[in-house]
Structures are given as structure tokens and as C-alpha cells.
């Protein structure tokens, strides 16, 4: 078969397809999202679902494995925190059909709130870890992870990173091989019910399994020694391997693809055959600390950065530091205006933040496109912690006795993900916060995935959209209302009324994401420069289509989506729809 140029995520999906996976679940999260999207192209052969959150996704895929199906679950690094509960105990239960948790880390925090290193979870849960360094390996290691999973009856983790997931390289594809396993759950309580009497037995089995897995890692072809000059030996994994090959082309390398449990005999053998050892790993010094614990002296975090993602340039600087030379190249400080991400022109979230900007409330925020409401000039999101925290933290600020009222913000997909339980808390524990669900009918930030509210599944089925309002009422919230986020007057009235009420409330601001709809909301707006008084009020909307020219505003006609918010707030009446050409 011809080699195809595909991304790491597509290659992970391809590996799962070839491995005969029949159940695949996940929750969208950059940089992992395209794994499941890509696999869903084979939906005739693989059941795929976007689950409401990673914990549910993990449990669905885990149960499929217990029924003897090969399955995968996909998520970003922070998603594994949500799924950590089933992860830790599925390690005890073990699996039947192969089960691979595909987790994508985001070193450098391109699209994430933290930089945690998923390799810790493999060690914590005592499960095997696989780390591809390019798309070919992503495909190959998925197949291997699936085999190891079945052979040792354990779930496995395939850890990718942003630069593996979103880089493309050539992959030799294979054919799909059906797993050939008879589907059906076989009752066996001592195996699947970890009440203490059985759980303690499982606990011992986990340790025994780890011993066998060490030997599997030591003999795996995914871990290889590349012998070149022996004065320096570099131990590395994941994308760092690719950088190492360019920055130290002459050095010998121990390249780990099956990286946990640590292949001790390989580490010792490699170290014994080189004059000095350097460990190059991205993020935490996990491998380095283990190498040292084996009595091997090495360099690592003293020269290789432990914070932020690696790159050929950062490693070149590390090499120069090691060799006592001064790093030569750097990007330099340029006096260029930063260009952070912004809410798109026409975004329905914009008006909500604009209105909140005129109110003395604390706004607890959440994860999604609306996180961009934290930037100036909107500057109207006061906290972000994690998925769902926009709801629960509102309750915490209120119960602490903050003198101001609190408005919690959450998106539609995030509400389904983990906002519901927070809302239940507010209703049950007599909170009075106002929760605003910014419902743009899609999981937008990750590239427009379906969710329980969109009325469509990943399999392409049309289903009844789940009503956020009905969930709110069912949670015990009496004050539930729905507003049009483009109607600033209505937004303002609704938010003020609910904030002033001595009862919890739920406001659903509903309008579809125009980026997904792919069409303008109305006529392009233009500024009459003579009428513009230069008050800059429209700049406060943080619309990328509105540019400030020094004395007046201008609307970029290629960017304007015609939402008309600027026209509504311009006190000089200087903004109007562009007249038709006719």
C-alpha cells in the first residue's frame, strides 16, 4: 500500500482501525480531537461516540473491552484527570478485548490550561505506556499497545503530544484485521468486582503483571539502541527523539517507544556502553530520575528545559550549554504587537461579555471559546480552573461571603460535561448564583464537534437535542430563561433581573456559532468616518473586524459577519449596514 501523509492523530486512528477496534469513545480536546473524528469515517465498522465527558467515555470503552471488544478512548491530558477514577481501578480489573487510552499532552500549553505530563499516570495506575515520535510510530505503536493490552490483560496508554498529534508524516498503511474475538461479557465477580476481598487479590496481580511487563518492555522492538559515536549516549522518547537526531546527529541513542514500565536492563546496558549519558525528555524528569535511581549518572534537566515544549532550537541551546559554548541563535525580542486569539467576528459570546463588563459582579469562567472573554478589552472572566468550574466556583465565592453577586459562565458542551453537577449543588445547597450557559450549539473551540445538545451524534444520527433548560429545571432551578445573545438589551435585562433575585437562576444564551454555520448574520457594517466621534466604544466589543485608525474606527469588510452589535452600541449612529450594490 502507498505511504500516506497523515497527522499523528489520523495515524492513531488508522492503527485502531487496522487493529480491529469496534468501539471508540472520547471527549474533544486539543490536541487529541482528530483521533476520533478520523476514526469515525469508518463508522460502518467502528462504533464511535462523543461522550458527555472523559470519565463516561473511559467507562463506556472499558465495558466494551470487558465484553471482549477491542476499544479505545481519546482525550487530552487534562481529560485524563476527569477519567482518573476509572483509570485507576480498571488497572486492577484488567481488560479482555484490547483497550488503549489515547491521551494527548500539550507541552507549551498551545491550547490548554496546564502542562501536566501524562507519563505520571502510567506510573500511578501501573499500566504500560507507549510514546510515538511520528505518524508511522503512532500507527505502529497503537497496534502494539493493543497486542500488549490483550496479552497482559491490562489497559495501556498511548501518549501523544501536540507536535506528534499535529505533525504530518508518511505512513505505510496496512489492512484492517478483525480482532476475531467472540463478543459477550462472561460473569466473573472476583475478576470484575473490586470489593476489598477480591480487590486485594487484584492488587497483588497488578504487581505481578508489572514484573512481566518490565521484561516485555526490555525485549520490545519499540525500544531500540542506535549505535553511532559512543562518547555520548542519549536516552529519549516521543517527539524529543526527532529533535535529538538533528541536534546530535553523531550521538548514540536509546529510543523508547514502550517507555513504561522502564526497560531497566536496556537502560543499564546502553549506559554501560557509552562514555556519558544525557536524558532528553519533554516536561517532567520522569525518565531521568529513574535512570539515576539505577545508579547511572547522567545529565538531563540541568541542561534541557523542563518547562515548555522542546524544539530543535532549545535543544541546540542545551547542547551549547553542555559544551560550554554560548547559545547563538534566539528569536530575539521584537517590538511587534502581540496577536492573541480573539472571539471571531459575529461570535454570539461577545455581547454577553460586553454586558457583564458594565456590571459589578464576579464572573467565574470555564473552558471553551468563551475563555477568550478574559482578554482585554472584554476582560470579563475573573477565574478559569477546569471544565465545569464556572458553575461550581460561583457557589464557592458566594458561600465564602463575597459581597458581590456571582455570575458563572459555562458553554453548552461544558455544561453537559461537568456543569450539571455544579448546578445541582447550587440548587440543593441553597445558592443564589446566576449561571449563564453560552449555548452556541456546538463544541466550537476544538473544531465544532457534536454534543448532547446539538441533535446529532458522531455516527451521524439525528437525535432529540437534550434541553439545557429542562436539565436546569430538573436540577431544581426555578428561574430558567432563554435569551438571544445578539439582543444586548434583552441580555442586560435578563442578567440584571437574575443577579438581583434572591434565588439561583439559569440563563441560556442561545445562538449557533456563525463560524460553523459558515454564513453572515446580516449585512456588512460600515463606519461613516465623518459621523464617527472617536469615542472608541465599539472597540470595547473586541471584534477583530473593527480596527482603530487613530481618530476613527473602520470595519474590515472581509472579516465582518454582520452581527450588528457595533451598530447597536455606537452612540453617534455612525455605523450602518453597507448599502447593496444595486
Partner 1 sequence: MSLEDVQSVVLVGVGGQGILLASEVLAQAAVLSGHRVKTNEVHGMAQRGGSVVAQIRWGPEVYSPLVAYGTARVLGALEQIEALRYAHYLDPNGLAVVSTQAIMPMTVSTGEAIYPKDVPGLLRRSFSRLIYLDAAQAALDLGEIRAANMVVLGAVSTGLDIAIEDWRKAIATSVKERFVEINLRAFEAGRSFS
Q: Which residues make up the interface to partner 1 (CB under 8 A)?
A: 5, 30-31, 33-34, 110-111, 134, 163, 166-170, 239, 241-243, 245-246, 249, 311-313, 316, 329-332, 334-344, 369, 371-372, 375-377, 445-447, 539, 542, 544, 546-548, 556, 558-559
Contact 408, 364 (CB under 8 A): yes
Q: To the nearest 10°, report the CA torsion of 461, 463, 466, 467.
A: 130
DSSP single-letter state for residue 327:
P
Nearest approach, Cβ of 151 to partner 1 (angstroms)? Answer: 31
Nearest approach, Cβ of 229 to partner 1 (angstroms)? Answer: 16
Rounded distance between C-alpha atoms, residue 12 and residue 7, angstroms: 9
Cell of 340: 492573541
Nearest approach, Cβ of 312 to partner 1 (angstroms)? Answer: 4
Nearest approach, Cβ of 338 to partner 1 (angstroms)? Answer: 5
Which lies closer to partner 1 via its Cβ, residue 249 or residue 295? 249
* DSSP notation for 399-460: HTT-SSEEEEEEEHHHIIIIIHHHHHHHHHTT---EEEEEE-SSBTTTT-B--TTTSB-TT-
Nearest approach, Cβ of 554 to partner 1 (angstroms)? Answer: 9
Which lies closer to partner 1 via its Cβ, residue 253 or residue 491? 253
DSSP single-letter state for residue 299:
B
Q: Where are the beta strands (DSSP E) in 323-397?
A: 361-364
Distances (CA, A) of 365 to 269, 393, 487: 51, 9, 22
Contact 374, 356 (CB under 8 A): no
Distances (CA, A) of 168 to 10, 133, 441: 9, 11, 30
Which lies closer to partner 1 via its Cβ, residue 143 or residue 553? 553
Which lies closer to partner 1 via its Cβ, residue 25 or residue 446? 446
Which lies closer to partner 1 via its Cβ, residue 261 or residue 348? 348
Distances (CA, A) of 578 to 529, 565, 573: 13, 14, 14
Which lies closer to partner 1 via its Cβ, residue 341 or residue 463? 341
Nearest approach, Cβ of 406 to partner 1 (angstroms)? Answer: 25
Nearest approach, Cβ of 537 to partner 1 (angstroms)? Answer: 12
Nearest approach, Cβ of 110 to partner 1 (angstroms)? Answer: 6
Cell of 474: 430538573
Three-state SS for 533-551 is CCCCCHHHHCCCCEEECCC
Nearest approach, Cβ of 313 to partner 1 (angstroms)? Answer: 5
Which lies closer to partner 1 via its Cβ, residue 490 or residue 515? 515
Which lies closer to partner 1 via its Cβ, residue 333 or residue 462? 333
Cβ-count burial of 368 within 10 angstroms (0-12 exposed, 13-18 middle, 19+ buried)? buried
DSSP single-letter state for residue 276:
E
Nearest approach, Cβ of 168 to partner 1 (angstroms)? Answer: 5
Which lies closer to partner 1 via its Cβ, residue 23 or residue 247? 247
For 307, the 3-state DSSP assignment is: coil
Contact 471, 420 (CB under 8 A): yes
Q: Is the dihedral of CA 468, 470, 473, 479 positive or negative?
A: positive
Neighbours of 189 (CB within 10 A): 9
Which lies closer to partner 1 via its Cβ, residue 87 or residue 352? 352
Rounded distance between C-alpha atoms, residue 285 and residue 288, angstroms: 5
Nearest approach, Cβ of 290 to partner 1 (angstroms)? Answer: 25
Which lies closer to partner 1 via its Cβ, residue 312 or residue 476? 312
Amino acid at each position: 500500500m502507498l505511504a500516506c501523509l497523515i497527522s499523528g492523530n489520523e495515524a492513531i486512528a488508522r492503527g485502531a482501525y487496522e487493529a480491529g477496534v469496534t468501539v471508540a469513545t472520547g471527549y474533544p480536546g486539543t490536541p487529541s480531537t482528530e483521533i476520533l473524528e478520523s476514526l469515525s469515517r469508518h463508522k460502518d465498522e467502528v462504533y464511535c461516540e462523543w461522550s458527555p465527558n472523559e470519565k463516561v467515555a473511559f467507562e463506556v470503552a472499558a465495558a466494551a473491552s470487558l465484553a471482549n471488544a477491542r476499544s479505545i478512548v481519546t482525550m487530552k491530558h487534562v481529560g485524563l484527570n476527569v477519567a482518573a477514577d476509572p483509570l485507576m481501578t480498571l488497572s486492577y480489573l484488567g481488560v479482555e478485548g484490547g483497550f488503549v487510552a489515547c491521551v494527548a499532552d500539550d507541552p507549551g500549553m498551545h491550547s490548554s490550561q496546564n502542562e501536566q505530563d501524562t507519563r505520571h499516570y502510567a506510573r500511578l495506575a501501573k499500566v504500560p505506556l507507549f510514546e510515538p515520535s511520528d505518524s508511522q510510530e503512532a500507527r505502529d505503536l497503537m497496534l502494539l499497545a493493543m497486542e500488549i493490552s490483550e496479552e497482559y490483560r491490562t489497559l495501556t496508554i498511548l501518549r501523544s503530544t501536540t507536535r506528534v498529534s499535529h505533525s504530518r508524516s508518511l505512513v505505510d498503511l496496512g489492512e484492517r484485521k478483525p480482532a476475531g474475538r467472540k463478543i459477550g461479557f462472561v460473569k466473573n465477580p472476583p475478576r470484575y468486582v473490586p470489593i476489598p476481598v477480591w480487590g486485594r487479590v487484584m492488587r497483588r496481580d497488578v504487581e505481578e503483571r508489572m514484573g512481566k511487563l518490565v521484561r516485555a518492555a526490555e525485549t520490545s522492538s519499540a525500544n531500540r539502541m542506535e549505535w553511532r559515536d559512543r562518547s555520548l549516549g542519549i536516552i529519549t522518547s516521543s517527539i524529543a527523539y526527532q529533535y535529538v537526531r538533528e541536534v546530535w546527529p553523531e550521538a548514540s541513542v536509546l529510543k523508547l517507544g514502550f517507555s513504561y514500565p522502564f526497560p531497566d536492563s536496556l537502560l543499564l546496558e546502553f549506559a554501560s556502553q557509552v562514555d556519558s549519558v544525557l536524558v532528553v525528555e519533554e516536561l517532567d524528569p520522569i525518565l531521568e530520575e529513574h535512570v539515576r535511581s539505577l545508579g547511572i549518572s547522567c545529565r538531563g534537566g540541568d541542561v534541557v528545559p523542563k518547562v515548555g515544549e522542546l524544539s530543535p532550537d532549545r535543544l541546540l541551546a542545551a547542547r551549547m550549554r553542555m559544551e560550554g559554548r554560548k547559545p547563538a541563535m534566539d528569536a530575539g525580542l521584537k517590538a511587534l504587537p502581540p496577536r492573541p486569539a480573539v472571539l471571531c467576528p459575529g461570535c454570539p459570546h461577545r455581547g454577553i461579555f460586553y454586558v457583564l463588563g458594565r456590571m459589578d459582579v464576579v464572573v467565574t469562567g470555564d473552558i471553551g471559546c468563551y475563555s477568550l472573554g478574559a482578554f482585554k478589552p472584554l476582560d470579563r472572566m475573573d477565574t478559569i480552573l477546569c471544565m465545569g468550574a464556572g458553575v461550581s466556583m460561583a457557589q464557592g465565592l458566594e458561600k465564602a461571603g463575597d459581597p458581590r453577586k456571582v455570575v458563572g459562565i459555562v458553554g453548552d458542551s461544558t455544561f453537559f460535561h461537568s456543569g450539571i453537577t455544579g448546578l445541582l449543588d447550587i440548587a440543593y445547597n441553597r445558592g443564589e448564583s446566576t449561571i449563564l450557559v453560552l449555548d452556541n450549539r456546538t463544541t466550537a473551540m476544538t473544531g465544532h464537534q457534536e454534543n448532547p445538545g446539538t441533535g446529532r451524534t458522531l455516527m451521524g444520527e439525528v437525535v432529540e437535542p437534550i434541553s439545557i433548560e429542562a436539565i436546569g429545571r430538573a436540577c431544581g432551578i426555578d428561574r430558567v430563561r432563554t435569551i438571544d445573545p445578539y439582543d444586548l438589551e434583552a441580555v442586560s435585562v435578563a442578567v440584571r433581573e437574575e443577579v438581583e433575585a434572591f434565588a439561583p437562576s439559569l440563563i441560556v444564551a442561545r445562538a449557533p456559532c456563525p463560524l460553523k454555520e459558515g454564513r453572515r448574520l446580516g449585512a456588512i457594517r460600515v463606519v461613516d468616518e465623518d459621523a464617527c466621534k472617536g469615542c472608541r466604544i465599539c472597540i470595547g466589543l473586541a471584534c477583530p473586524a473593527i480596527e482603530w485608525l487613530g481618530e476613527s474606527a473602520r470595519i474590515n469588510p472581509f472579516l465582518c459577519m454582520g452581527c450588528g452589535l457595533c451598530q447597536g452600541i455606537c452612540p453617534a449612529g455612525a455605523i450602518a449596514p453597507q448599502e447593496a450594490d444595486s
